[in-house]
Amino acid sequence: MSSDAASSTPVTAPATAPEDGSHPKRRVILAIVGMAQFMVMLDSTVVNVALPSIQSRFGASTPSLQWVVDAYVLVFGSLLLLGGRSADILGRRRVFLAGLGLFTAASALCGSAGSIGLLIGARTIQGLGAALLSPAALSIIVTVFRDPKERRTAMTIWAALAAIGGTLGVVIGGALIEVADWRWAFWLNVPVGVLTAYAALRIVPPLRPAAGLARRSFNLPSAALSAGALALLIFAFISISEQGLGSARTLVSLAVSVLLFGLLALTLARSADPLIPPKLLASGPLLLSAVGLLLVAGTMLSLFFMLSVYQQRVLGYNPLQAGLGVVGMGLPTLALFPAVPRLMTRFGPPRVYLGGAVLITIGAVLLTVLPSATSSYAGGLLPGLAVVGLGLPCCFAPLNAMGVSAVPPMQSGVASGVLTTFNQTGAALGLATVVTLATSHTRSLLESGHTPAVALTDGFKWGYTALIGVGAMMIVLALSFTLRQARAKA
């Protein structure tokens, strides 16, 4: 069937499906929606290695470069709840395809941008497409995989796409910039997006709400309040790097954000069909998983940004070398991900997450000893990157699995939106706070007469020191998970 409108296929699988109700083509469906999610995560980082080339092409300022990254994650993060709600109301495949089409078209616009302003605008549209696509894709996976063991494996693969897509983004971006042009980092999405949409129309079922259920509303007031509150919060953190913490723009943005969050809480409490059901937020595992994803996503994107800039501006690497430099983190991630489901089965997701949090913290400590232009990559960056790479899959996979498994399948779209919202909000906030701290210290050193290389190196050491603090918060969160599990078994 070619469209939702032309099909009345039920959510449950046909007669040849397993007894648990899983879809017979669930593994192919996982590959299709996984490819789309891979594109989304790749575009969260692919632009990082291209930043120096974009700056040279458009003569852009450093704050403008940060907006090329943040425009995407800001819109992505602030509209995910509406995307998840839309998937639950309109049908998962329909919203998935709408988001994929918008994302693909925006990718073509990014590649054709003639100014830094147009590029930032196209990245904003990309974020909107991703906000529709991502929660719908995760909800599709939760729906077609009904067996708990198979679903855990599928969720691990899904989580792997975040780390793998992020890592390969800088590698692919570096290679394309070196052999062609930075624009190809975006144009590459177009044929992949078209093929993925075709496969989804052919194989992914509509997955519409079951007949007889009360029709739900989009709850646009709540959606607008949540989007505005998140966007202003992220904007406030970004503006710190441009105008400082005490600037009027920063303080007004923070104040209005807090006000909107307060109004959102009142709206949710009074709504008969809230955008985020209070009982859903009251789920301890879901809320803790969301906070955990916020912290680990902020760590990962901050690492990509600082590494890409540092390798090119201090170590003198070309874009391809800078992209390959991140492989030191990506290969350990790829090597460990297949073992994560077995680790979760043996030790439990909370303990695996605790191990990952400890590894990321140790890796951040090692990265504070940054190499100079005359130091070797193997002796300088590689040890810290490798340890962080081992920690990432031990965080992403258990957090996603614990969060989604804590809610009933009919609310998987909203739950997926909550988790992905925290993930992307964490990426934006992490980039805004950690990079702001690093660039502010770098700026003060430059004003004191230090060379750019010395100023950048010392500034980024401050950034990695901040990540040690984030790692400590992750350890505390993981310990709370572990204690909850112990009490549940008692």
Residues 342-369 pLDDT 10s: 898 888 888 999 999 999 999 999 988 8
- CB contact at 8 A, 179 and 188: no
CATH number of 26-207+275-489: 1.20.1250.20
Distance of CA 263 to the CA centre of its chain: 26
- Better pLDDT: 154 or 168: 154
- The tens digit of pLDDT for each residue in 247-290 reads 888 899 999 999 998 998 888 777 777 777 777 766 677 888 88
3-state secondary structure 381-443: CHHHHHHHHHHHHHHHHHHHHHHHCCCCHHHHHHHHHHHHHHHHHHHHHHHHHHHHHHHHHHH
pLDDT of 418 higher than 70 = yes
Q: What is the pLDDT of residue 109?
A: 94
Q: What is the mean pLDDT of residues 146-169?
A: 74
Q: For 237-266, give the DSSP string.
A: HHHHHHH-TTSHHHHHHHHHHHHHHHHHHH
Q: Which tokens hold the place of 269?
A: 């409490």
pLDDT of 63 higher than 70 = no
- The packing angle between helices 62-78 and 412-447, to 10°, is 160
Q: What is the pLDDT of residue 158?
A: 75
- The packing angle between helices 284-313 and 62-78, to 10°, is 160
- Give every CB contact of residue 125 below 8 A, 6+ residues apart in sequence: 102, 105, 106, 109
Q: What is the pLDDT of residue 227?
A: 78
Return the half-sphere exposure (C-beta side, CA atoms, 13 A cut-off) of residue 257: 17
Q: What is the pLDDT of residue 150?
A: 81
User: pLDDT grade, residue 476 (50/70/90)?
Assistant: very high
Q: What secondary structure letter does DSSP report for 215?
A: P
pLDDT of 475 higher than 90 = yes
Residue 448 — φ and ψ, nearest 5°? -85, 0
- Better pLDDT: 355 or 457: 355
Please count the helices (runs of H) and the strands (runs of E) in the chain. 21, 0
H/E run at residue 163? helix 148-179
Long-range (24+ apart) CB contacts under 8 A made by 402-405 are 402/285, 402/288, 402/289, 402/349, 402/350, 402/353, 402/481, 403/285, 403/286, 403/289, 403/290, 403/293, 404/138, 404/142, 404/155, 405/148, 405/151, 405/152, 405/285
Residue 66 CA to residue 275 CA, distance in Å, equals 31
Q: What is the pLDDT of residue 21?
A: 57
Q: What is the pLDDT of residue 372?
A: 61
- The tens digit of pLDDT for each residue in 69-111 reads 778 877 887 787 788 778 878 888 999 999 999 999 999 999 9
Q: What is the mean pLDDT of residues 10-38?
A: 68
- Domains of the chain, by residue range, sit at 26-207+275-489, 220-274
Q: What is the pLDDT of residue 13?
A: 37
Q: What is the pLDDT of residue 334?
A: 81
- Better pLDDT: 71 or 241: 71
User: pLDDT grade, residue 5 (50/70/90)?
Assistant: very low
Q: Which tokens hold the place of 121?
A: 């605008």
Q: Alpha-carbon dihedral of residues 132, 133, 138, 140, nearest 10 degrees?
A: 100
pLDDT of 207 higher than 50 = yes
Q: What is the pLDDT of residue 120?
A: 92
pTM value > 0.85: no
Q: What is the mean pLDDT of residues 188-195?
A: 90
Q: What is the mean pLDDT of residues 451-464?
A: 83
First to last CA, the chain: 50
Q: Where are the beta strands (DSSP E) in 186-239?
A: none
Query: Amino acid letter at 283?
Result: S
Angle, CA of 388, 50 and 46, to the nearest 5°: 50
3-state SS assignment for residue 316: coil
- The tens digit of pLDDT for each residue in 295-317 reads 998 888 788 778 877 888 788 88
Cβ burial, residue 321 (10 Å; 0-12/13-18/19+): middle
User: The tokens 């030191």 sit on which residue?
Assistant: 328
